[in-house]
Copies of this chain bind each other. A is one copy, B any other.
């Protein structure tokens, strides 16, 4: 069975990590910065060397194309992003792009031409660190954000996306049809590492419900107010948050509950908090369950507030439905990993990815590989060369299946494939 060259993939990852390298071993290539353009230029050089053509669309998404036997056929697309967090790692996004490149190089080595054209997409501003929202390039491509709105978005210095593109936008149409989209990515979580598995077959993205909670009691002097006369908003909020932890268990193992921000307006060490604001982040792979989680949250918080004679106001800040990936694309990944004999499990994506937008545009799926300690968005982000190689092998197999390539012979052991 055809596999990639793991050492070449690793070398390219390390070469790309020299662009915008930080002192602590990470990367800083903010979207559409000089470092980001330098990274794209290095990638473009490699694509040209691999015989690919390059073009961009109006939001600066970069596409490298390898011709297929049927030029008019919709392409099978691999990809991710090359921009990073300000103190980002070497693999988030970059891996998906360079795994795509390694797939093309490996096909070149093997002399294989697929039926459909292949493309590698580099999506603009995935991180959202410079321009908000994140995943802007894929959102614009998929019609989620209108182009004019996207171009007008400004960074903290007042520089617009249009200005930052600096003539690097091209004429490839937005919303072109793809036969399939595959994105390989580090997991950015601890599940695969904990399970000792090199591959996650990603079946979709979670539903997310963000709530803003305001608990209102009565401020009071910490020294002069008897406990029985207090309406302490923090004691109430603490009970609420403890109940939310229980709620996560009730919806386990797939339900996730996080209270990431908590603020006491006008907080003072010797004042009983009169108000507390906190956020709730609810996640579940199933829409029916996320709705049940939101309803339970609202009921529990209202009950606890009423018991204490306090009030609670709960606003939905944002809701994103679950994103199931395409059955055939998932099957292609599953068949590839099974044929390769690599240990794996099915899982949902906990983080946002360009593939979440693409999934509403064309058949899509993702492949996860472990990252060390589940760490990402961090200069210490790390991944093992063998895991990265196996992920690219699976990408190659899935792409070949969807693009109409060669018959793939099986190999006896996944450990000997570099």
Q: Which residues of A contact B (CB under 8 A)?
A: 187-191, 194, 206, 208, 210, 220-229, 232, 234-235, 237-239, 241-242, 245, 248-249, 252-253, 255-262, 264, 267-273, 279, 281, 283, 349-352, 374, 376-377
A189 touches B281 (CB 8 A): no
Q: Which of B188, B249, B255, B268 contacts A260 (CB 8 A)?
A: B268
Q: How far is the CB of A408 from chain B (nearest CB, A)?
A: 31
Residue ID in chain B nearest A371 by CB atoms: B224
Q: Which residues of B contact A188 (CB under 8 A)?
A: 221, 224
Q: Which residues of B contact A191 (CB under 8 A)?
A: 224, 226, 229
B270 touches A258 (CB 8 A): yes
A206 touches B227 (CB 8 A): no
- Kindly state the separation between the CA atoms of A235 and B256 in the bound complex, as whole angstroms: 13
A223 touches B260 (CB 8 A): no
Q: Which residues of B contact A189 (CB under 8 A)?
A: 220-221, 223-226
Residue ID in chain B nearest A227 by CB atoms: B248
Q: Which residues of B contact A206 (CB under 8 A)?
A: 223
Q: Which of B225, B268, B273, B350 contacts A223 (CB 8 A)?
A: B350
Q: Which of B194, B208, B222, B234 contacts A241 (CB 8 A)?
A: B234
- Kindly state the separation between the CA atoms of A232 and B248 in the bound complex, as whole angstroms: 13
A256 touches B190 (CB 8 A): no
Q: How far is the CB of A276 from chain B (nearest CB, A)?
A: 8
Q: Which residues of B contact A377 (CB under 8 A)?
A: 221
Q: How far is the CB of A7 from chain B (nearest CB, A)?
A: 28
